[in-house]
Every structure is written in C-alpha cells, then in structure tokens.
Chain A
C-alpha cells in the first residue's frame, strides 16, 4: 500500500467510504480525491471493517463515510462497530432527513450526517470541519474538576469517580466547551458553530443526541443529570 503525500509533503487524510452503490462510491471518490483526500471504498459493512482493521496496521483512516442503507451489516451496526474500535470521525449518509434515521445514526456513534443527494462541496466542508477539529489540541493546560468528574484538557482524559472514560472526539469537545464556560448557558447554535462549524441552520439534533450520549458517560445517573443541564428554550450548561 502506497502512502500518498500532498504538496506539503504531508500525508493526505485517508477516508473510508462505505457505500453499496458502486456509481455513487466511485463518483464520491473522484470528487473527494479532487479535494486532496486519499479515498478507499468498501461496498458492504463486513468488507469495510476488514479494510479498517488492515488500515490500523499500516496507515490508519482519518474519517469514515457510511451509507445507512447497506446490505448485510447495516450502516448503523457498521457505525457502531467502527465506533467500538476507534474514535475516528464518522459521517452518516442518509436518504432522508427523517428524525428516525438521523437520530439512530447519531446514536450509533456518527459525528455528523449528510442527506442524499448532497453537494460534494457540502460533504467536503463537513469533512474539513471534522478533520480540522480532530487535529486541534487544546491550548489550555489546566485541569478542571466538577465533583466526581475530572477533565484533563490537554491530555484529553476524562475521569468519573477516578475511572477513565472513553469519549469520542466530538463528545470530548462538547464537554470541554461546556466545562470551560461553567454555569454559562450555551445555545444549540453556539455549540453547533464551535464544534461542528455549522451556521445558524445547523441541525440541533446533532447537539441533542451528543448531549444525550455524553450524559450516559459522564453522569452517574443519566436520567437525572447533575452536571449537564438542559435550559429550556436556551440550550445547555454545565453545573459544577
């Protein structure tokens, strides 16, 4: 397997496209290669997991794009499985914007989603947003602690009652955003902009589902959150 280098001599980000429609897969690969990415395609979930596993040994993937309508292992399961193995950014491709599909995809672990037929430019923008974030490291070195919850910003480590938690990058950034502004209410729009680089029209469900996922990890009683509080009509805040 050859590693592609971009103009700066850096390795170009490697993207895994899991899409059963060969024409879409090929056209997406062409469009994304134009954007400077290295693209590997897989037609089904089993194959994708295999390629992903191989990638881990040589040149790990930086991002995965998963169509939810897959034969065999469906997109949700595939996403879930990838998420179990790593915290690489995942973009779901759905055929419709129905709440059911979108929320199910996000709950399976996707970081973001696009709806068919999407503009390649729009997809590229989403990829850039997720990758840029994946490479930014926090400049603050301080450690924050809220009761039994402890956040080491620089190390990217979160502990609950002494146990290290496994958070995805999105969940970690969401937590950091709230934790560095304790008691301040952040609106969905603010969170969408800071974490996903979305404008005013970003989908609030992204925030809601990720908050829900985050609660299941950082709250002792997720049904009765003590730290991550919903402020009705306004947004979310972190209560120390």
Chain B
C-alpha cells in the first residue's frame, strides 16, 4: 500500500517539478524577468545619457551662437549708426560670418542674406514676439520640409531712432547628426544589455532550478522503484533544506516499506506452514475416507472444503497485499489471446462453454502472466457458478485496433446497477433485493483480485447487463504488437 503511495507521490512530485508546465514556466519567467530588468535599466541609462549629452551639445551651440550674434549685433549697431542700407549691412555680416544666416528688420523692412534657403517666414513667430517686445531670445526650431534643426537668436538693436531687430540663424545639422549617432549607439547598447540580461536569466534559471531538477530526477527514480535513490546535498546549496527533508521523507517511507514487506513475508511464511500441514494431512484422511463411517466422511468433506477455502483466502490476501506493496512480480509472456482464454477455460471448468472468437482477434498476441490470467478466468467462472448457475458463453472480440474484449456471460439474475461497481471491492458480496445470491463459499476477494490482476496486465474490467438476461463481465486487455524489427535476443 505504502509503496504504491510513495510511487504515485513521487510521480506527482516529479510532474509538479519538471512536468514541463511549472518547470518551463518558472525558467521562462526568470529569464523574462532578467531580460526585462536589463531592458529597463538600459533604457533609463540611455535616456539619461542622451538628454545630458543633448543639453550639453545644445548649450555649446547656443553659447557659440550667442557670442557670434552679439559680436554681429555690435557691428550692425555701428553700421546702422552710419546709416548704411540694410542689404549692405547684411552683406558685411555675411562676409565675416560664414556659418549663419542673418535677418535684419528695420523700419524699411527685411534685409536678409538668404543662406541655407531660409527667409524671414521661417523665423519662429514666438521668437519674434519676444524680440519685438525688447527681449533678447533664442529658440531651437525645425524646418518641417527638410527636418533640419536650427538655432535662432534675435535681439533688438538699441540706440537707433527707429526700432531695428536682428535675427541670426545657425544650422544645427552637425549637432543633429552627432545626437543621431549617439541615439543609435545607445539603442544598440540597450539591445545588447537586454540580450545579455536574457542570457544571464537563462543561466541563472538553470542554476536556480538545478536542485529542483535533481529532486525531480530522484523522485522519478523512486517512482521507478529505486527506493534508495537520494539527493546528494551540496553543503552550501540554498535548497539544502529541501534536499535534506526530501531525503528524510524517503528514508522514513523506505523504512516503513521494508518493515511492511518483511511483515507480509513473515505472515506469509507463518500462515503457509500450518496451511501446508492442514492440506497435506486432510488429503491423507481423504484417501482413507472409504474406511470411515458416513458421519466422519461427511465431516472430512466439510473440513477439506473449508481448508481449501482457507488456503485460497490466505493466498488471495497475500497476493493482494503483494500487489498493494508493489512487489507482485509478473511473469509476462507473449501468448496468443485465443489460446490463453481457451486453456484457462479448459483448466477451470469441466462444462463445455461456447467460446466465440472473432476472426480478427484470432492471431492477436497479448502480454500475460498465464497463471495470474488463469486466476482471473477461474474467479469469474467460479463467481458465475456461485451466483448465476455458471457461465453460458465467452466471447473474445476486437474492441479497437489495440484493445481486445473478453466477455463472460451468464443467464443468472444479473447485477443491479447500483452494485456494479461495488462488487469489485474487497469482501463485497453482490446481493440482490431478494437477499444473498447463491450459497457463498467464496473468499470475498475473488473479484477484487480479478480487478487487481487485470490492472497488472494494463487492462480493466466492468460488468454490464447481458441480453436477454444475466450479467456480462467484460475484460479489456491491450493487444501486444510484436516489434518485428527487433533483433533476435541472444541472452
């Protein structure tokens, strides 16, 4: 019982740990989080770098532009005082400054150099408002058609009779391309950081999950019956606690298992010895039955029947406890299903029962433990004899490509729908509304053992209504397909 629980618990634990879902999800999540962190970190650092660099570059440009513009304004002031015409003033400026475009507004209108294809309409209106208000101002703006950035500086030329305003525009294409390449470099760096983050995450997730992997691997081994498998605990592991408590749990379970197995084995031995003596002695008495009085003979018959029943019951109990402990060792052989069923029937019943075999299944092989399979058929036949006057027909059919059905039918009272599951339980006796069926005499374990035995063969059993009356027990057993490509096995 415990072995089975350990195994199924181990399987569940393993499924929980590596059964793709959690393990993969956990791993993906860790990797994703690392990647996301790297991405965010990269973006923040890049943004700070970009804006700092940008403001520093723009600052430099603006300072240089302001210096030039102030110098030029002084020249213009002088030229205006000398009453030179606006066009000439602008030409003067152009001859000394090559990297800017000048615009002079006087009472007579605009004079401008026209460099970089800029004209007064391109001057930002906001800037002009400030400048005409008497404030020296600068503004960075973009010409939408070309997408180029410029810095414009405007100031009022004071000290003249009428107000004059001087604007100077400096192209920022140099700064723009510098910033552009900085941006590309930063984006590249962000991508690289993210990639490194993802790789780091993958590595970290592997490293973090390795102990879980180990736990699940050990759980798998345990579920396969290697009960002495343990997790090797690295002393500094963060999961040392998990490992040691897991190991401790397996230790305890193994101990219990060994104890229980030893108990079963001891009980088995202790019970079998007296049963052997009883069986052997009663057979000696039986052979001398002719010399006894009828009364003694009757008593001997009773005694003999009960001893046989007792032997069967103990045998069944031990078999069930072995199956529960997972220590029933099957002697699986490749056999023809049809022959197996026929031989089982021959051995079990002296009655001639029609055995119908579908043509399709006649050459089907199954993997079966012959003696245990014989117990399955014998139990079902005895059950039918006890409760339903014996079986009336056995049919072997192909349910699908890979599943065979063995239907064992009787014409007895049938089994009430409510009892159909219940009868396969241990010590359950099918009872009809009319009361106990048949005369008893079974061990009460027959059908439970049948269920267990069929389970060991990878099949299942159920009972249904037989037409027109009675019960039909159906055994489903998987077909065995021999692998033809397998090389001959030369032990």
Binding site for B on A (CB under 8 A): 21, 23-24, 27-28, 30-31, 34, 69, 95-99, 116-121, 188, 199-201, 203-205, 212, 215, 224-225, 229-233
Task: Find B275's partner among A97, A116, A203, A205 (CB 8 Å cutoff).
Answer: A116
**B482 — which chain A residues lie within 8 A by C-beta?**
233
**Is B273 on the interface with A (CB-CB < 8 A)?**
yes
A225 and B347 within 8 A (CB): no
**A69 — which chain B residues lie within 8 A by C-beta?**
269
Task: Find A229's partner among B370, B374, B490 (CB 8 Å cutoff).
Answer: B490
* CA A30 to CA B488, docked complex, whole Å: 49
Q: Which of these binds chain A: B44-52, B224-232, B278-286, B456-464?
A: B278-286
**B490 — which chain A residues lie within 8 A by C-beta?**
224-225, 229-230
Digit string of B306-337 for contact with A (CB within 8 Å is 1, else 0)? 00000100010010000000010101011000
A27 and B281 within 8 A (CB): yes
Task: Find B284's partner among A30, A118, A212, A215 (CB 8 Å cutoff).
Answer: A30
Chain B nearest CB, measured from A102 CB (Å): 9
A30 and B276 within 8 A (CB): no
**Is B272 on the interface with A (CB-CB < 8 A)?**
yes
**Beta-carbon nearest neighbor of A222 in chain B:** B491
Chain A nearest CB, measured from B8 CB (Å): 23
* CA A119 to CA B275, docked complex, whole Å: 10
**Which 5 A-B pairs give the minimum distances between C-beta atoms?**
A27-B280, A117-B275, A117-B276, A116-B272, A23-B277
Which of B273, B318, B329, B331 has most A Cβ within 10 Å?
A: B273
A203 and B272 within 8 A (CB): no
**A28 — which chain B residues lie within 8 A by C-beta?**
280
Given A119-B279, A200-B343, A201-B343: A31 and B374 interface contact (C-beta under 8 Å): no
Which of B275, B283, B370, B371 has most A Cβ within 10 Å?
A: B283
Given A117-B276, A232-B486: A27 and B268 interface contact (C-beta under 8 Å): no
B329 and A99 within 8 A (CB): yes
B276 and A118 within 8 A (CB): yes
Chain B nearest CB, measured from A142 CB (Å): 29
A230 and B371 within 8 A (CB): no
**B268 — which chain A residues lie within 8 A by C-beta?**
95-96
**Beta-carbon nearest neighbor of B374 in chain A:** A201
**Is B287 on the interface with A (CB-CB < 8 A)?**
yes
* CA A229 to CA B339, docked complex, whole Å: 25
**Is B489 on the interface with A (CB-CB < 8 A)?**
yes
* CA A149 to CA B280, docked complex, whole Å: 45
**Beta-carbon nearest neighbor of A22 in chain B:** B277
Task: Find A99's partner among B269, B331, B343, B488 (CB 8 Å cutoff).
Answer: B331
Give 12 pairs: A residue, B residue, CB < 8 Å, sorted on A.
Answer: A23-B277, A27-B276, A27-B280, A96-B265, A116-B275, A120-B283, A200-B370, A204-B331, A225-B490, A225-B491, A229-B488, A229-B490
A203 and B331 within 8 A (CB): yes
Chain B nearest CB, measured from A155 CB (Å): 30
A232 and B331 within 8 A (CB): no
Interface size for chain B: under 10, 10 to 19, 20 to 34, or 35 or more residues? 35 or more
Chain B nearest CB, measured from A148 CB (Å): 19
* CA A233 to CA B334, docked complex, whole Å: 6
A24 and B329 within 8 A (CB): no
**Beta-carbon nearest neighbor of A93 in chain B:** B276
* CA A200 to CA B491, docked complex, whole Å: 24
**B333 — which chain A residues lie within 8 A by C-beta?**
188, 204
A95 and B284 within 8 A (CB): no
**A98 — which chain B residues lie within 8 A by C-beta?**
327, 329
**B491 — which chain A residues lie within 8 A by C-beta?**
212, 215, 225, 230
* CA A96 to CA B284, docked complex, whole Å: 24
* CA A231 to CA B269, docked complex, whole Å: 38
Given A204-B333, A225-B491, A230-B488: A95 and B272 interface contact (C-beta under 8 Å): yes
* CA A27 to CA B276, docked complex, whole Å: 9
**A230 — which chain B residues lie within 8 A by C-beta?**
488-491
Chain A nearest CB, measured from B264 CB (Å): 10
A201 and B347 within 8 A (CB): yes
* CA A188 to CA B333, docked complex, whole Å: 10
B284 and A117 within 8 A (CB): no
**Beta-carbon nearest neighbor of B272 in chain A:** A116
B280 and A120 within 8 A (CB): yes
Task: Find A24's partner among B273, B287, B343 (CB 8 Å cutoff).
Answer: B273
**B276 — which chain A residues lie within 8 A by C-beta?**
21, 24, 27, 116-118
* CA A21 to CA B339, docked complex, whole Å: 41
B488 and A95 within 8 A (CB): no
**Beta-carbon nearest neighbor of A99 in chain B:** B329
* CA A28 to CA B268, docked complex, whole Å: 20
Which of A99, A118, A120, A203 has most B Cβ within 10 Å?
A: A120
Chain A nearest CB, measured from B162 CB (Å): 116
Which of A28, A116, A205 has most B Cβ within 10 Å?
A: A116
* CA A205 to CA B329, docked complex, whole Å: 13
**B311 — which chain A residues lie within 8 A by C-beta?**
117
Chain A nearest CB, measured from B203 CB (Å): 46
A120 and B277 within 8 A (CB): no
**Beta-carbon nearest neighbor of B280 in chain A:** A27
**A231 — which chain B residues lie within 8 A by C-beta?**
488
B347 and A232 within 8 A (CB): no
Chain B nearest CB, measured from A179 CB (Å): 19
Q: List residues 283-306 of chain B with CB under 8 A from any CB of chain A.
A: 283-284, 287
Chain B nearest CB, measured from A57 CB (Å): 30
Chain B nearest CB, measured from A238 CB (Å): 14
